[in-house]
A and B are shown apart, each in its own frame.
Chain A
């Protein structure tokens, strides 16, 4: 059997057994991740991995970590956050209450970046943030807001470059090799299990941040996900994407205009 068909059998089986739908993920990355999982989980082949995952739910939980966890730094692409601060925030200020959706929040780096920025701009108190992901383990980590102290140097540099006038250390306390981000940052955060592949719209929001999530989807799933974001956004609401992502190839392009094109900020028409 070809490797490609082994991959699709495995993804079909996962969908049927666990209702997680990876069938429309971009193949090159899925293959890399499955290969890594095979090695780490000591499976001899993809079909051996499939057998094990179907028989043992804990093995599936483990596989899920390989399939879903992206690695992001806080304030990744500082110029994106600078545009957020300087150009998006003035528009957000006009709303008496603000709802923000962090779609595919993984372990929370993007969520805390957005929450910190909103706090520094005086908007966090009147904002509700929805942080969603399909990986319960990642959501748990996001909810904890603990990051290894070694990562803080990069986070701090990025935060400075994003145009902040404060120090990142005002938002966390360091202890036992970790940085614990302030509880108050997540006071208005709703953490929730939500799949861009299988679930539907759950709230009307003024801003969606979905960065470096669409790169893992094939075109059809990208369309579905962008459709959900389009339907969630109010008129003149904002969509922030990753630095290699755009609406260039999407049928939803006509529903948005470029807001800060170079930083991948779009505005709902």
Chain B
């Protein structure tokens, strides 16, 4: 049962940030089609990818999603729709809600890192942010989710027992004290609620 305060926060949030690692494609397959064509807010997704190979995520997901699916350019405005972090850069959000990039060292052995996106988004959006931590075999995302939680944002974590790799959801649960821990079909409903156009 979704608590009324969480429901209110989902309906009011101004951006959704997500992170996934091993098992990402299957999990995102169940979630991203829930974003409607006329999405209300931006949905920004970091997936751990091999460096120095172009990411194929846009080609993979664009045909399966009704929302527009893109990779951002430097300084591009963070408009509604689905955005994937490109490979071999950290993706950040500026306080004017544009995208920024960095080639700083990998964080948690990852570039892009989920923590880097989440922490910068927490600064930019404070309590009007919602994040989702999904399956993965490392601890990226836990620190970032914890920053979002501290600033009053809504933290959702995939139920670890149903996840292909439990370590990432477990780390986020341990560190960030998430408001919601749920299996994928429920998270899909939450995403639908957060991104659907206002009635």
Contact = CB atoms under 8 A, between A and B. Distances in A.
Given A70-B103, A158-B52, A28 B86 contact: no
A242 B102 CA distance: 11
B52 A249 contact: no
Interface in B93-109: 93-95, 100-105
Nearest to A78: B52
A154 B111 CA distance: 15
5 contacts: A28-B93, A28-B95, A71-B103, A79-B54, A244-B73
Given A28-B93, A28-B94, A158-B52, A219 B104 contact: no
Interface residues of B, number: 25
B88 interface: yes
A29 interface: yes
Nearest to A216: B102
A140 to B, nearest CB: 20
Size category of the A interface is 20 to 34
B84 interface: no
A12 interface: no
Contacts of B93: 28
B52 A29 contact: no
A27 B92 CA distance: 10
A242 B86 CA distance: 12
Given A28-B92, A248-B73, A70 B104 contact: yes
B127 interface: no
A245 B92 contact: no
